[in-house]
Amino acid sequence: MHTVELPARGATTSPSVRALPQHCTVCGAEFEAAPEAICGSCLGPLEPMYPASRRLPGRAEIATRVHSMWRYREWLPFEGTPTLSQDTGFTPLVDAPRLADKLGVAKLWIKNDAVSHPSLSFKDRVVASAINAAKALGLETVGCASTGNLANAVAAQAARAGLPAWIFIPDNLEQAKVLGTAVYGPNLVRVRGHYDDVNRLCAQLADRFGWGIVNVNLRGYYGEGSKTMGFEIAEQLGWRFPSAVVVPMAGGSLLTKLHKAFGELRDAGLVTDEAPRLYGAQASGCNPITRLVESGGETLVPQIPSTIAKSIAIGNPADGVFAARAMRGTGGWSAAVSDDAIVAAIRLLAETTGIFTETAGGATVASALALAEQGRFGRDDEVVLCITGNGLKTLEAISDSIADSPVIAPRVREVAALVEAVG
């Protein structure tokens, strides 16, 4: 296990690491590294530009590196060696044969970011990238608009880095997500309204204050962290791809970045398989990307979310159009499931794999079952479900569905009666 030195609180930056310049994915305009995420010309999204001449490691070299997302550092948006949040990533890929049987597929694995370090969701990956970008760009305060998991990740990693944080969340989030943010001591602000209201506010705040709002003006650097989930899936399978990956969708960014990651692995010659079919998972109460896939169109229609799956309740997803293209382009599809199905799927995952996920994970498992019902998977398929968050954060969602446990006196005969009753 490697150790990481923690900076003193309030420490200013000495950018031994540099963020890469960016280009617009729509019009191609190029920009110097800066806390900007939209094109100054067409307002399209920016993403980092990797030097074509950079040396890429092979499988053997990667195998010698520490088990974290930084073992793929050549595909992360920095020159030099990032120093913050070095121990995020490389979560387990768990074989799930009983769930495979339920779906009627040959193999099924859970990519288990429910145990991500440090804050138990895949958002640790994107924040690890963004916070190093903030440091490289000389920003002294970070922030985010969040449905909860990102708030946890920013608060935890900012505290560790000694950076002040401003975190904005809807006012109706689950208690564990609120407390699990506040405990790190950020400036935590609850905003009346849905996530989309919070997001709009933060887009305006990024214009007003000199903060690094990780999913607004650092978004180009932030999103690259998601790719590491795809790199890990391939490496953990022995440098090959599954045939299908099911991904929860809120803003749609994770799915688009997995698509990019699989393409980059093929470009680097690390994997030669055909890229997986990508499938999206949403809740019926907030399914704008699924609707877009089903319609075959290019214009996303926003929604007012109404679902227990608050972590994926984004009615106006910024990457919705790009995620829909990735699903169609890989031969995948999208499904949306009811809140009851989400709760049932949380329990199914727990009972068949020993993994306790939050509502977004329930939506992922339930959507995979729905896609199987639709005949989207074949008997030979090898499927990975991306489980992105931890069930301990959304206990409210399942509390009504779990029966009270019996309370007994400490007597053998009372246990014997229970055993007989269970049969």
Partner 1 sequence: MAVTLFLPTVLARLADSGTLQSEGDTVGQVVNDIAGRYPDLAPRLRDEKGDPYAFVTFYLNDEDIRFTGSFESPVKDGDELTIVPAIAGG
How many other β-carbons are positioned within 10 Å of the β-carbon of residue 2?
8
| Interface with partner 1, residue 189, by CB under 8 A | no
Whichever of 109 and 211 has its CB closer to partner 1, that residue is: 211
Name every residue whose Cβ is closer than 8 Å to that of residue 416 and which is 6 or more positions away in sequence.
none
Whichever of 145 and 349 has its CB closer to partner 1, that residue is: 145
Q: How many residues of this chain interact with partner 1, rule: CB under 8 A? A: 34
Residue 240, classified by CB atoms within 10 Å of its CB into exposed (0-12), middle (13-18) or buried (19+), is middle
Whichever of 149 and 157 has its CB closer to partner 1, that residue is: 149
| Interface with partner 1, residue 173, by CB under 8 A | no
| Interface with partner 1, residue 32, by CB under 8 A | no
- Rounded least distance, CB 318 to partner 1, Å: 5
Whichever of 199 and 243 has its CB closer to partner 1, that residue is: 199
| Interface with partner 1, residue 38, by CB under 8 A | yes
How many other β-carbons are positioned within 10 Å of the β-carbon of residue 81?
11
Query: What is the token pair recorded at 423?
Result: 């049969």
How many other β-carbons are positioned within 10 Å of the β-carbon of residue 91?
25
| Interface with partner 1, residue 319, by CB under 8 A | yes
| Interface with partner 1, residue 29, by CB under 8 A | no
**Per-residue x/- mask for partner 1, residues 365 to 394, rule CB under 8 A?**
------------------------------
Which stretch in 62-70, 88-96, 190-198, 356-364 sits in contact with partner 1 by CB under 8 A? 190-198
Q: What's the rounded Cα separation, in Å, for the pair 367 and 369?
A: 5
| Interface with partner 1, residue 204, by CB under 8 A | yes
Q: What's the rounded Cα separation, in Å, for the pair 170 and 307?
A: 14
| Interface with partner 1, residue 37, by CB under 8 A | yes
The interface with partner 1 within residues 84-113 (CB under 8 A) comprises: none
Rg (CA), the chain: 21
Q: What's the rounded Cα separation, in Å, for the pair 88 and 85?
A: 6
- Rounded least distance, CB 310 to partner 1, Å: 14
**Of all residues in the chain, what percent are helix, strand and coil, respectively (each to 5)?**
40, 15, 45
Candidates 84, 152, 82, 143; CA nearest to 124 is 152
| Interface with partner 1, residue 170, by CB under 8 A | no
Among 69, 120, 136, 145, indicate the residue that binds partner 1 (CB under 8 A). Answer: 145
What's phi and psi for 334, nearest 5 deg? Answer: -140, 150
Residues contributing to the site for partner 1 (CB under 8 A): 26, 37-38, 40, 42-45, 145, 195-197, 199-200, 202-204, 206-207, 215-216, 219, 250-253, 301-302, 304, 314, 316-319
